[in-house]
């Protein structure tokens, strides 16, 4: 497989004969297009058999194998047993469906093997463009700052860290938060990565007040005010108020305008977790529900969920770049900036987040938005909300089903009801039955103290028939288990 230089005897990893690898590469692309074109013919998901798991476990391969043989192993052991989120009836958690243009972009990005930590090159310009588009989508000023990261978990952590240094000043980088009792506020429906971000920021999860929600899953602002007063009276320092645009359980959106107002009056950093919900800003119909997001100091969201970009592609946007630089600006001598040559270019992505070496995630975002257009992505978000409305209406019509939460966006929580027995157990079993049969893959969550079947419609491939198949399968599985 390798090239030997006749003059020096040195070996590279490039093939001596490119034609074989080229042929294999073309076959891989054809095979993957076939895979995408025939998704509906296959189960949504199937468990990986233990024998195959065993086959995958090998000691470090010391000797070469042909790429054809390794590809055959991939096709047999890996491809059939992936997550399933490409499939139109994958409705679990909040998983994006990806898209074929994004897939090709991954190939191109892999080919260039660019490092987007810094320096002066076109791939960084592509990322800067993507951040500017994100700012435009959110209604932020066009000179807003930001960086692409793995996902919203890390983007939220960056939000917490920037808010922390905005409160304590850059000295927090040398001295730590020390004796300052910083306190943050978010809703009880916030994602689990929010308390984790507080842990990782060294502030402690107990310093995050999880304010109870109203019946629509929105943070109660009267209780927020009470907590703020009580904390100030106790000598703590409120510094950060986090709104959620699309809660993970039910898709609820906080009253972001009102929260922005509280943050402004109380001198708090206003961060929004818009992991999937922020993309609703691309739909003229959905956008009004996010009113106030444009007032945030920072917003975390994912391109890999509702925007259908292949994993992974999270994003943090910060209104004021000075605050982000103050938190992460890199000063090491080996990262010194020049005014000319490859080390030029001013602010580098490594100044805006914890990563130094970074891949070319931006390309798949840039190509997805460029090829489909932002309006189309917004229309897909709208389509999934319409499907959720159809699902909710069907649930409401079925005597054996009960809806458990209002439908704010694209998530429907419901359960199968029977006269007696443990309904939580029954509904968990129904979900596992559907997943194992490969018919559909909803997930579960707890709503109002009971276990819900949770269908998050995120995938651009999902249609009305898929909704009918899901409900019919839930009813059939429920009947089978109850009788
Ligand atoms: C998915 C999600 C997250 C976490 O995002 P990752 O990309 O998985 O890290 C955070 N908040 C909400 C509301 C989410 O839906």
* CATH classification at residue 445: 3.90.1150.170
Q: Contact 102/367 with Cβ under 8 angstroms?
A: yes
Model-wide pTM > 0.75: yes
Among residues 329, 348, 372, the one where a domain terminates is: 372
* Cα 273 to ligand 1 centroid, rounded to whole Å: 8
Give the pLDDT confidence score for residue 469 in this predicted structure: 98
Residue that is written with structure tokens 């961060």 in the block: 271
User: pLDDT tens for residues 191-242?
Assistant: 999 999 999 999 999 999 999 999 999 999 999 999 999 999 999 999 999 9
3-state secondary structure string, 289-353?
HHCCHHHCCEEEEECCCCCCCCCCCEEEEECCHHHHHHHHCCCCHHHCCCCCCCCCCCCCHHHCC
Q: If you average pLDDT over residues 20-48, what whole number do you get?
A: 97
Same domain, 242 and 344: yes
Please state, as a whole number, how many other Cβ atoms lie within 10 Å of the Cβ of residue 258.
16
Same domain, 217 and 324: yes
Same domain, 357 and 381: no
* Cα 464 to ligand 1 centroid, rounded to whole Å: 26
Q: Please give the residue range of the domain that contains residue 320.
A: 114-372
Q: If you average pLDDT over residues 244-271, what whole number do you get?
A: 97
* Cα 286 to ligand 1 centroid, rounded to whole Å: 20
Q: Contact 401/414 with Cβ under 8 angstroms?
A: yes
What is the atom index within ligand 1 of the atom nearest the CA of 156?
10
User: Is the link from the previous residue into 406 a cis peptide, with omega within 30 of 0?
Assistant: no
∠ CA 402-405-410, rounded to 5°: 105
Q: If you average pLDDT over residues 417-426, what whole number do you get?
A: 94
Q: Contact 483/105 with Cβ under 8 angstroms?
A: no
The answer to whether residue 84 is domain-embedded is no
The answer to whether residue 68 is domain-embedded is no
Please state, as a whole number, how many other Cβ atoms lie within 10 Å of the Cβ of residue 462.
24
Based on the structure, what is the number of domains in the chain? 2
Same domain, 344 and 435: no
* Cα–Cα distance measured from residue 229 to residue 256, given in angstroms and rounded to the nearest whole number: 20
Same domain, 296 and 437: no
- What one-character-per-residue DSSP string does 236-291 give? -EEEEEEEEBS-TTT--B--HHHHHHHHHHHT-EEEEE-TTGGGGGGSTTTGGGGT
Give the pLDDT confidence score for residue 60 in this predicted structure: 97
User: pLDDT tens for residues 336-349?
Assistant: 888 888 888 889 99
The answer to whether residue 105 is domain-embedded is no
The answer to whether residue 22 is domain-embedded is no
Same domain, 148 and 199: yes
- Best residue among 95, 219, 253, 275 to mutate for probing ligand 1's pocket (most ligand atoms within 8 Å of CB) is 275
Same domain, 421 and 340: no
Max alpha carbon distance in the chain (Å)?
A: 83
Torsion angle, CA of 447/453/290/101, rounded to 10 degrees?
A: 150
Span of 26-35, 178-187, 269-278 with lowest mean pLDDT: 178-187
Structure tokens at 88: 């139109």
CA distances (Å), origin 288, targets 90, 253, 264, 296: 28, 11, 21, 15
* Cα–Cα distance measured from residue 201 to residue 212, given in angstroms and rounded to the nearest whole number: 23
Residue among 432, 314, 360, 316 at smallest CA distance from 106: 360
Span of 187-201, 290-304, 328-342, 456-470 with lowest mean pLDDT: 328-342
Give the pLDDT confidence score for residue 336 in this predicted structure: 83
Query: Which domain CATH number covers 309?
Result: 3.40.640.10
Same domain, 319 and 206: yes
Q: Contact 24/31 with Cβ under 8 angstroms?
A: no
More confident residue, 193 or 142: 193
Instruction: Calculate what percentage of the chain has a pLDDT beyond 70.
Output: 100
Asked whether residue 299 carries a pLDDT value surpassing 90, the answer given is: yes
The answer to whether residue 264 is domain-embedded is yes
Same domain, 330 and 464: no
Same domain, 131 and 177: yes
The answer to whether residue 478 is domain-embedded is yes
* Cα 470 to ligand 1 centroid, rounded to whole Å: 24
Task: Give the distance, in angstroms, between the CA of residue 248 and the centroid of all CA atoms in the same chain.
Answer: 11
Q: If you average pLDDT over residues 285-303, what whole number do you get?
A: 98
Same domain, 331 and 388: no
Give the pLDDT confidence score for residue 430 in this predicted structure: 98
Among residues 372, 392, 413, the one where a domain terminates is: 372
* Cα–Cα distance measured from residue 71 to residue 67, given in angstroms and rounded to the nearest whole number: 6
Q: If you average pLDDT over residues 119-143, what whole number do you get?
A: 97
Among residues 341, 372, 403, the one where a domain terminates is: 372
The answer to whether residue 384 is domain-embedded is yes
Structure tokens at 355: 């990563």
- Best residue among 93, 248, 277 to mutate for probing ligand 1's pocket (most ligand atoms within 8 Å of CB) is 248
pLDDT band at 1 (very low <50, low <70, confident <90, very high): low
User: 3-state class of 120 per DSSP?
Assistant: coil
CB-based contacts of 209: which residues, under 8 Å, 6+ apart?
183, 184, 185, 186, 227, 231
Instruction: Calculate what percentage of the chain has a pLDDT beyond 90.
Output: 91
* Cβ < 6 A, ligand 1 pocket: 94, 151-153, 191, 193, 244, 246-248, 273, 275-276, 302, 314
Give the pLDDT confidence score for residue 4 in this predicted structure: 74
The answer to whether residue 38 is domain-embedded is no
* Cα–Cα distance measured from residue 471 to residue 477, given in angstroms and rounded to the nearest whole number: 10
Residue minimizing CA distance to atom 2 of ligand 1: 275
Residue that is written with structure tokens 């001598």 in the block: 333
Residue among 385, 391, 164 at smallest CA distance from 290: 385
Q: If you average pLDDT over residues 167-177, what whole number do you get?
A: 92
Residue minimizing CA distance to atom 15 of ligand 1: 248
* Cα 276 to ligand 1 centroid, rounded to whole Å: 7
Where do runs of H (alpha helix) occur along 17-175?
18-37, 50-56, 67-73, 100-112, 122-138, 152-168, 172-175
Same domain, 267 and 182: yes
Give the pLDDT confidence score for residue 8 in this predicted structure: 78
Asked whether residue 29 carries a pLDDT value surpassing 90, the answer given is: yes
* Cα 183 to ligand 1 centroid, rounded to whole Å: 22
């Amino acid at each position: 497989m390798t090239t030997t230089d006749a003059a020096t005897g040195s070996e590279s990893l490039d093939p001596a004969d490119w034609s074989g690898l080229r042929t294999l590469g073309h076959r891989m692309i054809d095979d993957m297009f076939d895979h995408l074109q025939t998704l509906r013919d296959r189960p949504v998901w199937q468990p990986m058999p233990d024998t195959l798991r065993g086959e995958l476990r090998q000691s470090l391969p010391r000797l070469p194998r042909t790429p054809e043989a390794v590809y055959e192993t991939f096709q047999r052991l890996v491809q059939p047993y992936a997550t399933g989120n490409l499939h139109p009836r994958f409705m679990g958690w909040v998983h994006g469906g990806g898209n074929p243009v994004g897939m090709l972009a991954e190939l191109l990005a892999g080919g260039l093997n660019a490092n987007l930590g810094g320096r002066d090159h076109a791939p960084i310009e592509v990322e800067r463009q993507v951040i500017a588009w994100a700012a435009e989508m959110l209604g932020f000023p066009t000179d807003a700052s930001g960086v692409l990261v793995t996902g919203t978990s890390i983007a939220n952590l960056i939000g917490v860290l920037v808010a922390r240094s905005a409160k304590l000043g850059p000295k927090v980088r040398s001295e730590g938060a020390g004796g300052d009792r910083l306190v943050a506020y978010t809703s009880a429906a916030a994602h689990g990565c929010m308390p984790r971000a507080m842990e990782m920021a060294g502030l402690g999860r107990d310093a995050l007040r999880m304010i109870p929600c109203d019946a629509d899953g929105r943070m109660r602002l009267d209780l927020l005010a009470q907590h703020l007063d009580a904390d100030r009276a106790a000598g703590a320092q409120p510094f950060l108020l986090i709104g959620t645009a699309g809660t993970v359980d039910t898709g609820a959106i906080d009253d972001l305008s009102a929260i922005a107002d509280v943050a402004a009056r109380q001198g708090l950093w206003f961060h929004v977790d818009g992991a999937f919900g922020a993309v609703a800003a691309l739909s003229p119909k959905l956008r009004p529900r996010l009113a106030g997001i444009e007032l945030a100091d920072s917003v975390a969201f994912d391109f890999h969920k509702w925007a259908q970009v292949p994993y992974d592609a999270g994003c943090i946007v910060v209104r004021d770049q000075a605050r982000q630089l103050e938190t992460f600006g890199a000063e090491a001598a080996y990262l010194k900036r020049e005014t000319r040559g490859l080390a030029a270019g001013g602010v580098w992505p490594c100044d805006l987040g914890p990563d130094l070496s970074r891949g070319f995630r931006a390309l798949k975002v840039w190509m997805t938005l460029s090829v489909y257009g932002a309006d189309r992505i917004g229309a897909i978000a709208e389509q999934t909300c319409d499907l959720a409305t159809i699902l909710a209406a069907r649930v409401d019509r079925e005597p054996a089903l009960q809806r458990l939460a209002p439908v704010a966006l694209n998530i429907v929580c419901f359960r199968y009801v029977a006269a007696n027995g443990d309904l939580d157990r029954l509904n968990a079993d129904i979900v596992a039955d559907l997943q194992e049969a490969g018919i559909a893959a909803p997930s579960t969550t707890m709503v109002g103290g009971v276990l819900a079947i949770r269908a998050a419609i995120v995938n651009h491939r999902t249609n009305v028939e898929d909704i009918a198949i899901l409900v019919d399968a839930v009813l059939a599985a429920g009947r089978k288990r109850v009788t």
